[in-house]
Amino acid sequence: MTPRIHSLLAIALAAAAFSVTTSMAQMDHSGHGAMAAKPASSAANSAMEEAVVKKIDKAAGKVALAHGAQKDGMPAMTMVYRVKDASWLDKLQTGQKVRFATDPADTMSVVRFELLK
């Protein structure tokens, strides 16, 4: 084959590989191959999850929350989240139960808290 054909073949293979990689990145993590649905609701209306405050880092604007299994399929675990408004951290206490919602575009950022009794 000529160098030109080699180049065209390499470009075609790279484009095919990119297409497959992009499709795989959009797949649902359930393993069924379904495309992941983009959240239709705004961050303010996203589903609230219950959790227990484990640690508060006011300087970094972060909170560690221990949550149960979530509706989006995430298993129960403790995770550190950024908060939209650092003043919220002044109202939280370690061991306190809360409900929280994350930003659908950035699931590591809490956009809403509700204190539970």
Helix (H) or strand (E) segment spanning residue 97: strand 97-103
**Per-residue pLDDT at 85:** 93
**Per-residue pLDDT at 38:** 36
**What pTM was estimated for this model as a whole?**
0.60
Mind giving me the DSSP string for 32-96?
S-PBPPPP-S-GGGSPPEEEEEEEEETTTTEEEEEE---TTSPPSEEEEEEES-GGGGGG--TT-
Q: How far apart are CA 97 and CA 117, in angstroms?
A: 7
- Residue 23: closest CA among 37, 40, 35, 11: 35
**Per-residue pLDDT at 77:** 96
**Per-residue pLDDT at 61:** 96
CATH fold, domain 44-115, is: OB fold (Dihydrolipoamide Acetyltransferase, E2P) (2.40.50)
Give the residue range(s) of CATH 2.40.50.320 domains in the chain.
44-115
pLDDT tens by residue, the chain, 117 residues: 666 665 655 565 555 554 443 333 433 333 333 323 333 344 445 689 999 999 999 999 999 999 999 887 889 999 999 999 999 999 999 999 999 999 989 889 999 999 998
